[in-house]
């Protein structure tokens, strides 16, 4: 990621602070300086600088509006004589903003808005949108989201993390129903994270998850060795059916929630501390010993919690088969939970999507942006994981890896 030095003098700051839209003016000043820095980088020379490496000449500026949550910013975009300068700053900055604005605008255009939605529209955009403008923006954004969501998966993804969240969507007959948004994240063979699946489904069942996984396979998904998810029965069955031989890791955070839901408030704190000791054991032998202590300690005071731990222990501790360096990150779906939180933060502004396309547009645009950010830094060094998977395959040639810890 490129970095630029931005400076604001005391006089400029005093002037900005005297304006009504202080934050908006500060953002405008920063972006204008970034645009000038990009132009200098493009030409190989600063403004008024003369050197032998210069590759072009400046030719004044033009104004352009950028609609943001702090209002409409009027920016000064530099130009070259040959028109060779371009910037992707607007595209990157506006993608998520545009998706959010479009979802709200659709509510307004389709007659399902409220006075509050209108106020939010003005705050976000500083202007109103006609139906034709909304339609044009929708088509442009839909194409980008579709290209991202349906792109060919060219490499192997040894690790998958899958989860679902629920949104409210208005249907053609004006009913408001709950819809499941299935999100699949893959960690590829080089150790980079990618969001590879986004699907809006009627419900979270074996059939719908199988459909989502089969679509991923049709796009080229291969090499799956490890799948992390919660213990939803339909999801479990779909993983077993679609990724035969891959190890299923039950999310330890979800298991903890399940266990705490099975004990009284009075015992919840001590049960949580004891379960944490079990899950954080250094090896499987020690984990079993701590599990036995947990059973003996809470057999009478929290029998349902004990039963829940016993039922989920083996799948939650599957991660102990991995080299130690991978256990912390591959034992939970915390990465997916953070994505869900970001989606929820935006979804709370809208509350009810006017249709499924609007939901896919907003969520898809946000995830596409996050996917770009993830490509800037490797998440895992996969060398030892590959060695582990190869050894497991050699030990059990009929499957990719062993399904359960011995």
For residues 220 and 196, give the distance between their C-alpha atoms in angstroms, rounded to a whole number.
Answer: 11
Q: pLDDT value at position 402? A: 36
Secondary structure (DSSP) of 104-172 = HHHHHHTT---HHHHHHHHHHHSS---HHHHHHHHHHHHHHHHHHHT----S---EEEEEEEEEEEE-T
Instruction: Give me the sign of the Cα torsion angle 50, 54, 59, 63.
Output: negative
Nearest in space to 42 (alpha carbons), one of 76, 86, 5:
86
When pLDDT is averaged across residues 139-165 and rounded to a whole number, the result is: 92
Q: pLDDT value at position 98? A: 65
Cβ-count burial 340-372 (b if 16+ within 10 Å, e if not): beebeebbeebeebbbbbbbbbbbbbbbbbbbe
Torsion of CA 35, 41, 43, 47, to 10 degrees: 60
Token pair for 293: 């202590």
Nearest in space to 181 (alpha carbons), one of 169, 160, 167, 162:
167
Element (H, E) at 80: strand 71-80
Pick from 19-28, 55-64, 68-77, 153-162: least confident: 19-28
What radius of gyration do the chain's Cα atoms show? 26
pLDDT in tens, 201-249: 988 999 999 999 999 999 999 999 999 999 999 999 999 999 998 999 9
For residues 310 and 286, give the distance between their C-alpha atoms in angstroms, rounded to a whole number.
Answer: 15
Q: Say yes or no to pLDDT of 403 above 60.
A: no
Q: Say yes or no to pLDDT of 100 above 80.
A: no
Helix (H, G, I), strand (E, B) or coil at 76: strand
**DSSP tag of 243:** S
* 318, 284 Cβ separation under 8 angstroms: no
* 382, 123 Cβ separation under 8 angstroms: no
Token pair for 69: 């949550």
Q: pLDDT value at position 90? A: 64
Helix (H, G, I), strand (E, B) or coil at 54: coil
Given its phi and psi angles, is residue 111 left (phi above 0), alpha (psi -120 to 50 degrees) or beta? Answer: left
Pick from 89-103, 167-181, 263-277, 289-303: least confident: 89-103
Residues 6+ apart with CB under 8 A from 321: 247, 388, 402, 405, 406
């Amino acid at each position: 990621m490129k970095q630029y030095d931005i400076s604001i003098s005391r006089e400029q700051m005093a002037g900005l602070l005297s304006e009504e839209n202080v934050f908006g003016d500060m953002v405008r000043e920063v972006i204008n300086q970034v645009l000038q820095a990009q132009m200098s980088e493009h030409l190989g020379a600063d403004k008024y600088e003369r050197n032998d490496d210069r590759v072009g000449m400046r030719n004044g500026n033009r104004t352009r509006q950028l609609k943001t949550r702090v209002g409409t910013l009027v920016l000064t975009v530099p130009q070259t004589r040959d028109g060779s300068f371009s910037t992707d700053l607007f595209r990157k900055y506006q993608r998520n903003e545009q998706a959010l604005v479009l979802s709200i605008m659709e509510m307004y255009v389709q007659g399902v808005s409220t006075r509050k939605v209108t106020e939010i529209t003005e705050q976000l955009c500083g202007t109103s949108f006609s139906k034709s403008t909304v339609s044009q923006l929708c088509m442009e954004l839909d194409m980008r989201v579709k290209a991202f969501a349906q792109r060919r998966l060219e490499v192997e993804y040894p690790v998958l993390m899958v989860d679902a969240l629920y949104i409210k969507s208005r249907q053609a007959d004006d009913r408001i129903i709950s819809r499941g948004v299935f999100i699949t994240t893959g960690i590829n063979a080089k150790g980079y994270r990618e969001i590879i699946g986004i699907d809006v489904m009627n419900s979270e069942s074996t059939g719908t998850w199988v459909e989502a996984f089969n679509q991923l396979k049709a796009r080229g998904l291969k090499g799956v060795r490890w799948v992390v998810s919660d213990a939803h029965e339909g999801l479990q069955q779909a993983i077993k059916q679609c990724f035969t031989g891959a190890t299923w890791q039950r999310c330890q955070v979800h298991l903890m929630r399940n266990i705490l839901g099975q004990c009284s408030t009075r015992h919840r704190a001590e049960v949580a501390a004891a379960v944490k000791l079990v899950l954080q054991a250094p090896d499987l032998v020690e984990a079993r010993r701590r599990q036995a202590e947990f059973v003996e300690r809470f057999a009478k005071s929290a029998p349902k919690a004990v039963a829940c731990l016993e039922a989920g222990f083996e799948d939650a501790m599957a991660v102990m088969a991995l080299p130690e360096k991978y256990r912390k990150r591959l034992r939970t779906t915390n990465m997916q939970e953070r994505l869900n939180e970001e989606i929820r933060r935006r979804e709370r502004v809208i509350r009810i999507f006017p249709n499924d396309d609007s939901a896919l547009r907003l969520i898809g645009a946000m995830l596409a942006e996050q996917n770009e950010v993830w490509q800037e830094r490797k998440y895992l060094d996969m060398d030892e994981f590959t060695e582990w998977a190869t050894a497991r395959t050699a030990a059990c040639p009929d499957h990719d890896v062993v399904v359960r810890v011995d």
